[in-house]
């Protein structure tokens, strides 16, 4: 795990509370499964049909029949259940997921999310993200603050195809944490060693700064 991803995962796991039903999106979010405290009663749901995901398996103990939505091998906790895709999306669309933590390619200052495709690149489909941003009770997006070119992924307006409009409740990057409220986008935390000025300089979006920082 890169240092930036480690920072994001360490902060993102704090969003998971005891007793929650949580969906972890593909990519960085799946790394959170290994960081959830052992004394928490948390059920992780994968839209390909598994409720009760455990940590990643140790090398040599992988079961090719146990995979998450990102086609990574996972483990199943005692009491886990398996079901078809229709049942899985009934859980999501029925509002039974307390928290969805999703990766992002871009997030706008309005809380719009783009995370399912880059034009011109082959994709197998949009996955379950559009259902999750509509059906989950709370949506947290985690991503690196800038792309490989050093350009801000926290945009004034998303340039990539949208997954959902005004669906993000909280954004966590390797630099900062933002909330999206009726008052707009608000910077509520900076990561260790990061100044507000650095966040401003690396963010295209306009935002307010919480007085508690």
Active site residues per annotation: 47
Q: How many CB atoms lie within 10 A of CB 66?
A: 18
Chain centroid to CA 139: how far?
7
Q: Which of 16, 78, 24 is nearest to 48 (CA)?
A: 24
In sequence order, what are the beta bridge partners of 180?
185
136: its two tokens? 């989950």
Containing 189, the helix (H) or strand (E) segment is: strand 184-190
CB count in 10 Å sphere of residue 111: 23
Strand order in the sheet with 113-114: 113-114, 106-108, 154-155
Max CA distance (Å), the chain = 51
């Amino acid at each position: 795990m890169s240092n930036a991803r480690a920072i994001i995962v360490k902060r993102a796991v704090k969003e998971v509370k005891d007793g929650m039903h949580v969906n972890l999106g593909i990519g960085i979010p799946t790394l959170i499964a290994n960081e959830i405290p052992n004394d928490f009663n948390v059920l992780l749901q994968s839209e390909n049909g598994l409720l009760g995901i455990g940590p990643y398996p140790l090398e040599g103990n992988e079961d090719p029949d146990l995979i998450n939505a990102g086609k990574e091998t996972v483990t199943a906790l005692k009491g886990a259940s398996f079901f078809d895709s229709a049942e899985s999306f009934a859980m999501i669309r029925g509002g039974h997921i307390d928290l969805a933590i999703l990766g992002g390619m871009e997030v706008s200052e309005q809380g719009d999310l783009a995370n399912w495709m880059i034009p011109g690149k082959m994709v197998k489909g949009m996955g379950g993200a559009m259902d999750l941003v509509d059906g989950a009770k709370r949506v947290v997006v985690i991503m690196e603050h800038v792309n490989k070119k050093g350009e801000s992924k926290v945009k004034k307006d998303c340039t990539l195809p949208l997954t959902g409009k005004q669906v993000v409740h909280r954004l966590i990057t390797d630099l900062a944490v933002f909330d999206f409220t009726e008052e707009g986008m608000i910077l509520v935390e900076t990561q260790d060693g990061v100044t507000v000025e650095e966040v401003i300089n690396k963010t295209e979006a306009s935002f307010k700064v919480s007085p508690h920082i």
